[in-house]
Structure 1
Amino acid sequence: MVQTTEAQSPIAAAERLRETLGDGPVAVVTGAGISTDSGIPDYRGPDSPPRTPMTYQQFVGDPAFRRHYWARNHVGWHYMRETHPNGGHRALARLEAAGLVSGVVTQNVDTLHEAAGSHRVIDLHGRFDRVVCLSCGRTISRARLAERLAALNPRFAESVADVEVAPDADAVLASTEGFRVADCEFCGGMLKPDIVYFGENVPKERVLDAYALVDGAESVLVAGSSLTVLSGRRFVKHAAKQDKPVAIVNRGPTRADDLAALKLDTGCTEVLEALTEAYGA
């Protein structure tokens, strides 16, 4: 493995990336680090505070926990819907349009790749803009649920403004007593964000789609992920077993550094923007 830890100019870093990735097609795996420049904090970056992710068992098994979660999510939703793609997202979309990137497997739920113009996006862990009923299986938009929660809890979001928001649209609130949760308007069942929680499995069809993306690529680029969880790391391991070059752009170490042909310890935006210039995209 070739690992780069010293500071490099974005242009020099992009040239090294191009040498490693080749002429494509390139499959891209992204994590929270690509969205930090859009104002969404990273879960596991070097400067990120410790977090305890919610589990599926907590959500479905404890009404009080579920109320607390939906109150925080209600606040986080108002923040997340105002975020916009940054230069890194747009750079990947341009590289796809130029035929160099074949698709993106993202561990993020923020939908910013799609907003930036990427067409083949596999939302590995789901999307924050959808809600699913665990009883009847109907899917509704998070915007529709926001209207219902606002009607049930007037001025709640405004009363707790300026709070920290996590990458899954969760907000940090001290107290959520009195918040009223909305059930499915069709069957009265339990509503859950269409996001894969700890304790859940990524749907099999998404996993197979991601493997197929890697199978059809000549190389893999990881952008903004520490690859701590297996759900994203397995695709890098899959590429390495096929002797396909893997390049990683991420602040801090990752759990796949030993598999990388190139590791750049830096942020994503400037390097990915420079990569579009290096490829003439």
Structure 2
Amino acid sequence: MSPHPEPHGPGGRDGAPPAAHEGTPPGAALDGIRRLLAGGGVAVLSGAGLSTESGIPDYRGATGRRRRHTPMTYQEFTASEAARRRYWARSHAGWRAIAEARPNAGHRAVERLRRAGRVSAVITQNVDGLHRAAGTVDAVELHGGLDRVVCLGCGHRSTRAELDRRLHDLNGASRGAQARVNPDGDVELPDALVAAFRIAPCTACGGILKPDVVFFGENVPKDRVQQCYDLVDGARALLVLGSSLAVLSGLRFVRHAAREGKPVAIVNQGTTRGDEYAGLRAALPLGATLSALADRLGDPGDE
């Protein structure tokens, strides 16, 4: 939970307009985002919608309603060996699709805008590592990364690629590898395959391995949360890309920016929980939109 009180209303002290809840017309929206970025110092908060063009599905459709897939919770994972077996069996089958995903035009455009000084910081709710792969190596991965594994016993960290090799040695190639991949990198598998799956323990202490991501029901580390608050405080404005802001871990930064009088803009397909705090809200294709903006503003001398 944020230690900060809730803002009293939308907009900001600098006169940013209140949210247009029906969305801003595309032409006006594009011009508004261009003007926002032209001033530089914009912090970006990205969500699953930015990665859909890389073939990774999001949790919610354009209506904002959750898709049928229900992700594993931290409480389930830590309390039950059967739940851990189910998680790792399904994740082993689906992780390759995440590992082979490549940054799309949106990720690359964000990095171009960062290099040009238009974007001051990138905070992502995604665990796919695609901002890093696009060159934004200092992007703060709010919920961690699927390419890392941590032991719940001794804290030892290792790569997901290493674990994948160990799981392959124990179980062979997954027969569910061609199934539809869920947003958190797993797939649906028959019960018989899950029941026969063998879990790999920590190589350092024999303890329980968990992907180095924040599960539903788990808290984001406090120092990481504070780092994100500091980045928002140091920014002139906040631009949300492809997030419904359905969970507090991302929404709190939108609320914080609005309370501090910083302009907030949201580009997302469908409504978000942060719409009331945004002076600009638009439904635009992220790859094409961000690429056009980077073409226009990719040089610090351009306006």
TM-score of the two chains, using structure 1 as the length reference: 0.94
2:166 corresponds to? 148
Q: How does 1:40-79 map to 2 (within 5 A)?
A: 40-46=56-62, 49-79=67-97
Unaligned runs of 5+ in 2: 1-17
Deviation at 1:45, TM superposition (A): 2.4
Is 1:21–1:247's contact at 8 Å kept on the other side of the alignment?
A: no
Does residue 224 of the first structure (1) align with residue 242 of the second (2)? yes
2:177 corresponds to? 161
Does residue 249 of the first structure (1) align with residue 270 of the second (2)? no
* Coordinate RMSD, CA, aligned: 1.6
1:97 corresponds to? 115
Is 1:134–1:192's contact at 8 Å kept on the other side of the alignment?
A: yes
2:3 corresponds to? none
- What is the CA–CA distance in structure 2 between the aligned matches of 1:30 and 1:104, rounded to whole Å? 8
- What is the CA–CA distance in structure 1 between the aligned matches of 2:274 and 2:67, rounded to whole Å? 22
- What is the CA–CA distance in structure 1 between the aligned matches of 2:125 and 2:137, rounded to whole Å? 16
- Which amino acid counterpart does residue 165 of structure 2 have in structure 1? E
- What is the CA–CA distance in structure 2 between the aligned matches of 1:229 and 1:28, rounded to whole Å? 17
Q: Residues 87 and 256 of structure 1: is their aligned pair in 2 closer, same or farther, counting only changes over 3 Å?
A: same
Deviation at 1:37, TM superposition (A): 0.2
Percent of aligned pairs sharing the same letter: 53
Q: Residues 263 and 6 of structure 1: is their aligned pair in 2 closer, same or farther, counting only changes over 3 Å?
A: closer
Q: How does 1:1-281 map to 2 (within 5 A)?
A: 1-3=18-20, 5=23, 8=26, 13-46=29-62, 49-155=67-173, 157=174, 159-175=175-191, 176-281=194-299
Deviation at 1:174, TM superposition (A): 2.7
- What SS does structure 1 have at the residue aligned with 2:68? coil
Unaligned runs of 5+ in 1: none
- What is the CA–CA distance in structure 1 between the aligned matches of 2:247 and 2:146, rounded to whole Å? 19
Deviating more after overlay: 134-143 vs 265-274? 265-274
Deviation at 1:22, TM superposition (A): 4.8
What is the aligned length?
Answer: 277
Give CA-to-partner distance per residue, 1:201-245, whole Å, 9 cap, x none: 100111011001001100000000000000000001110011110
- Which amino acid counterpart does residue 33 of structure 1 have in structure 2? G
Is 1:223–1:249's contact at 8 Å kept on the other side of the alignment?
A: yes
Is 1:107–1:125's contact at 8 Å kept on the other side of the alignment?
A: yes
Q: Residues 280 and 135 of structure 1: is their aligned pair in 2 closer, same or farther, counting only changes over 3 Å?
A: closer
Is 1:132–1:140's contact at 8 Å kept on the other side of the alignment?
A: yes
- What SS does structure 1 have at the residue aligned with 2:26? coil
- What is the CA–CA distance in structure 1 between the aligned matches of 2:143 and 2:38, rounded to whole Å? 29
- Which amino acid counterpart does residue 131 of structure 1 have in structure 2? V
Deviation at 1:6, TM superposition (A): 6.8
